[in-house]
Structures are given as structure tokens and as C-alpha cells.
Amino acid sequence: MAFNNPYLEQYYPHFETVHGWCYDDIFNTLDILSTQPVNQRGGIAEIGIQDGKLFLLLNQTVDENFKSYAIDIFNNQHLNVDKSGAGQLDAFRKNLENLDRHNGRNTLIIQGDSTDSSLQLTKIIQPGSIKFFSIDGGHTPIHVMNDLVLANSVISNEGVVILDDIMNHWWTGVLEGWVKYNSMNPSLVPFAMGHNKLYLCKISHREYYVNLMSTLKIDGTGGLSDFFGWKIVKWKYHKQMSW
């Protein structure tokens, strides 16, 4: 596959060697989002790393001057209250060293539960410093709501949040958490859904991203759908999800 972002092209042959539940359909979406005139500055953050499959992809879009954040309980599986994933810190560090654009130099690893206030995540991650924020940690409604609030506080005004497992019937807590969060009328709102993920941005850039994803050619794009009061761009599933 050919991409506009050369660092995505470098990572693509190694993507399937990293353990995780993310499919290569997302490369085209990230390639489009990362090569627009907007949202070029900032690092990335992810809650729920597993072995780094998606984190590595997102971090390929980050310039060396910006810091990224990897948040996971990793080997502290007694904190995994809903048994969603089982990340291994040693495996993630090895993948960072071997496959990351920066070889891990720009990444701060934070081990712990994202709902733990002692981590002081809003102090460690500066407001407006994140261009992409992936949420794939605890799949309980409480975790999802907590993580959406955190993401909204640290992404840039042009930034994009990616919420995993939004329509996965095994993890209905994700949808419940999103619905409860949306009921608070937040400034973080959805603009697209596809490949098992919901894409969100600040309300000031929602029209831009809806228009972008509606007009560009993405395999499987299926028009607009209603989603809890919002019109969002949708994609079809291309591969059998191993749920």
C-alpha cells in the first residue's frame, strides 16, 4: 500500500507482527487525517496500549519535537476490572525500540489506571498538546466517561479522539459510557465511525472533519448516519472482527 505519510509506509509491513486488536484499514484513515493542513502540531496519547499496535501507528505521525504518552496498567492486571486486554510492558518497550519512528525517545510510559487521580494525568499532559488521542483502556462506562473527559482537556483545538469498540457487543460499556458523556453536552463531539472506532473532535472543527471524510475517497465510505443527535460519516466493515 502507498501512503502520503512515509512513516506510515515504513511501519505498515510490521503492523501485523504486533499483537493487538486493530486492523490495517485504519492506515488509510490516519494517512488522510495526518496529512491535512490542520492538526500538524502535538504529540499523541493512548489509554490501553496492549503491545503498542495502534500507539506505534499514531506516533509515526508525530514530529520529533513533541512528546507522546502511553498509559496502561500493563502487568498490574489486578486493576483490570473488566478483563479488557492484557498489555505487556516489556513487549511494548521492545516494539518501541524496534518499530517506532523515534525508537521510543519521545514517549513517556505511564503505568496505572487512568481513573487513578494520583497519576495526575492532567498535569503531566499539557492542555492542547495532543493531536491524536486513542481511548482503548477500561471498557466500563466509568472508564470511558473518565477517559473522554481527559482527552477533551488535553487535545488541541484541531485534535482528534479515537474511541475503540464503540459498537462491539462484547463491550457494551463503551457505548453506555459514550451515551452518558454525550448527554452532558460536551465540546468533544463525533464526526465519523468505522473499523470499530468512533472519531471525535472539538465542536469548532466538526464541520471541517465531516466535510473532509465525506468528500475524500475512503474504501467503504457509506454516507452519513444519525448517531445520538449527530450526523456522522460511516464506513463499512471490511474484515471479520475476531470478537
List the chain domain ranges.
Answer: 6-211
- The confidence score (pLDDT) of residue 192 equals 95
- Distance separating alpha carbons of residues 65 and 150, to the nearest angstrom: 23
Report the pLDDT value the prediction gives residue 236, as an integer from 0 to 100. Answer: 63
Could you tell me the pLDDT band of residue 22, with boundaries at 50, 70 and 90? confident
> pLDDT at residue 225 above 50?
yes
CB neighbours (10 Å) of residue 227?
17
Q: Could you give the percent of the chain with pLDDT greater than 70?
A: 89
Residue 95, judged by CB atoms within 10 A of its CB (0-12, 13-18, 19+), counts as: buried
Predicted confidence band of residue 52 (pLDDT cuts 50, 70, 90): very high
pLDDT at 41 over 80: yes
The domain covering 6-211 belongs, at the CATH homologous superfamily level, to: Vaccinia Virus protein VP39 (3.40.50.150)
Residue 80 has pLDDT above 80, yes or no: no
> What pLDDT is attached to residue 82?
65
* Contact between residue 189 and residue 198 where contact means Cβ atoms under 8 Å apart: no
Percent of the chain with pLDDT over 90: 79
pLDDT band at 243 (very low <50, low <70, confident <90, very high): very low
Please say whether the beta carbons of 181 and 163 come within 8 A. Answer: no
The string of pLDDT tens digits covering residues 132-168 is 999 999 899 999 999 999 999 999 999 999 999 999 9
